[in-house]
Chain A
Amino acid sequence: MNSPPSSEPVIELRGVEKHYQMGDTLVKALHGVDLKIFPGDYISILGPSGCGKSTMLNILGCLDQPSIGQYFLDGLDVSKLSDDDLSQVRGKKLGFIFQSYNLIQQLTVVENIEVPLYYQGVSEKESREIAVDLATRVGLGKRLDHRPTELSGGQQQRVAIARALSNDPSVILADEATGNLDSKSGGDILEIFDHLNAEGKTLILITHDEGMSQRTSRTIRLKDGEIASDKRREGTAQ
């Protein structure tokens, strides 16, 4: 199914299971997921609600840890890391884009973009330069000092993308990134994703939108906590 790896995987899941205790019953949200994601992959993870998409996102995003199994991110086993170390990994290697943008309301555009850099301890001057540059790249160069409430949904999501890029992450995780947007703004966002992937960024889009599989080079379908299919689109080189 997978084309042979041309390099070391950026993400590798080995027998990952996630269990939740819901009252008396033990819910297995994920069981036995094995997955390799390579640098430059452009992946959509699809599935109906309740299939384990969210759990998958939380684990890939180092927001949660697997109950069983191992998760290697850039060769580092993050499945047993401490809370502080997980924060460190999230801040250094991952970029998040959420359905509801999740910008901090009291901060301006440029300050929102700077948040990950702040926690990485990047100096004020340097982080300001990076943030202004990214804001300009996503087309918000003229709205640096605007508040999120003063921006449209599409603009807010572009700020979120700039923020996800600010720490130059290994992987960008987008959770229903276009879910709250009209088709025009959503299309703009997806174009930015295409563009980023073309630049070599690894993107994982988690979505229930079937149309996405037409856009990404690799589609993973989840069902009942397992990978049902993992297809690479014809004509996309690894």
Chain B
Amino acid sequence: MIQHSLLHEFSLFRLKRSVLLGIKSLWMHKLRSLLTAMGIVFGVCSVIAMLAIGEGASYEAQQQIKELGSQNVILRSVKATDATTAGEQERSLILEYGLTYRDIAQIQATVPGVLVTIPAREVKDFIWNESRSIDSSTLGTVPWFPEMRNRTVLRGRFFTEVEVSSRAPVCVLSQSLARHLFPLSEPLGDTVRIQSSYFRVIGVIQDDPAAASSETENKNARSDATPGAAMEMLIPISTLEDHFGEVLFKYRSGSFEAEKVELHEVTVRIDQPDQVMPAAQAIRHILERNHKKVDYEMIVPLDLLRRAERTKQIFNIVLGSIAAISLLVGGIGIMNIMLATVTERTREIGIRRALGAKKKDIVVQFLIETVMLSGAGGLIGVALGLAIPLVITHFAEMVTIIEFWAPALAFSISVITGVLFGIYPAFRAAGMNPVEALRHE
């Protein structure tokens, strides 16, 4: 027991002395030590940054999927590309395109696992509150829309089935639209106007998280989407038909266009998560059969998730290789300098051997020195690695997440690099013949 504790104390004392000695030796060549550690600094820093960005991207993707609903398939009507529509537009002044009630009926009847469908129609026009207005979209939809799309009603309430069947002139504003139209007052109970129709505001709902993503998904398809895509007003689908009819007229800077779209958007809710992909496939087949032109787009959140994960994987491989290469280069740099140090300090090694140092003592001394060099590089790297994600978040507006274990992992890698690349120089130092080492000039 006593012997054990003595032995313990003894080795701790040795370690402390070796570490102090290592600091002294490294401090004697400050610039050289710093430059040598640089490779490790960048390696460690890129490991942490890589993990932070990867984690952030995956978190963001998951968050997006959660908001869109991973069991949903979202269909949207879009104008087919100009080449295919040009001919028809000449024949008819009214542009007819998009999803139809027939599509929904078929999907509901034939695709297995479909729970509900949420049809929605959209009108794009100015929404007014007295003198304040904005060109925004008005969505006619069904009462279960918020639940199915995972959108929270922040204030007031959503409209009910009774209001749908009675075609009540009520509306729910998205948060950003409410803020725009009612910057100072409470919108609930107030009214907004579109063309000559008035709607009573009964609730305020969270902004559409998918607005931004669908814009990037299919830019040309929603070319008429306003920059503030998150601004929207929701009204009962029946009310929308009542007030705006089947053909939608749009007046834009003098010219006007007419569109006939039965349904602008349909959300299909699938029963089981593992049925989402096959169901999406089946829906795609139905739409392909029903529509000659591609006047619809399909968003499968689950598919987005997979794509996000794949991107993350590629990202990880690229950054992982960069990190590995810089650690390798850093390690080689350290080994190179340590070999030079060993040669430079041949005399010291001879002296120490003459004064009773065993080979093992010399190995430990140089190994500790190498590990301290790489460890110091590791610490600087950790500091930079913690700072870089902050910079990225600030300038690239990307979410970055630093897991608590990431700096620990990166630091351990730096220490392991030190050990691996320090072994050879240390053994070379220990293997020197004391007589020749003492004679070395």
Using a CB–CB cutoff of 8 Å, the interface residues on chain A facing chain B are 58, 61, 63-64, 83-84, 87-88, 90-92, 96, 98, 102-107, 115-116, 118-121, 123-124, 163, 167
B355, CB-defined interface residue at 8 Å: yes
Once A84-B360, A98-B438, A124-B13 are accepted as A-B contacts, the answer to whether A119 and B24 lie under 8 Å apart by CB is: no
Complex: A104 Cα to B346 Cα, angstroms: 11
Residue of A91, A103, A104, A118 near B17 (CB, 8 A) is A118
Closest 10 CB pairs of A and B: A91-B356, A119-B356, A87-B358, A116-B355, A102-B351, A106-B24, A84-B358, A63-B434, A63-B435, A119-B357
A115 engages B352 (CB within 8 Å): yes
Complex: A115 Cα to B362 Cα, angstroms: 13
Once A84-B359, A118-B17 are accepted as A-B contacts, the answer to whether A104 and B348 lie under 8 Å apart by CB is: yes
How many whole Å from A56's CB to the nearest CB in chain B? 12
B356 engages A90 (CB within 8 Å): yes
Using a CB–CB cutoff of 8 Å, the interface residues on chain B facing chain A are 9-10, 13-14, 17, 21, 24-25, 28, 347-348, 350-361, 434-435, 438
Once A102-B438, A104-B348, A107-B24 are accepted as A-B contacts, the answer to whether A121 and B10 lie under 8 Å apart by CB is: yes
B435 engages A116 (CB within 8 Å): no
Of the A-B pairs whose beta carbons lie under 8 Å apart in the complex, a sample of 27, sorted by A's number, is A58-B435, A61-B354, A63-B353, A63-B354, A84-B358, A87-B353, A87-B356, A90-B354, A90-B355, A90-B356, A92-B356, A96-B354, A96-B355, A102-B351, A102-B438, A106-B24, A106-B28, A107-B21, A115-B352, A115-B355, A116-B355, A116-B356, A119-B355, A119-B357, A119-B358, A119-B361, A123-B10
Given A87-B357, A104-B352, 6 extra CB contacts under 8 A = A63-B354, A87-B353, A87-B356, A90-B353, A90-B356, A116-B355
Complex: A74 Cα to B359 Cα, angstroms: 24
Q: Which residue of B lies closest to A160 (CB)?
A: B351
Q: Which residue of A lies closest to B20 (CB)?
A: A111
How many whole Å from B429's CB to the nearest CB in chain A? 14
How many whole Å from B365's CB to the nearest CB in chain A? 11
How many whole Å from A119's CB to the nearest CB in chain B? 4
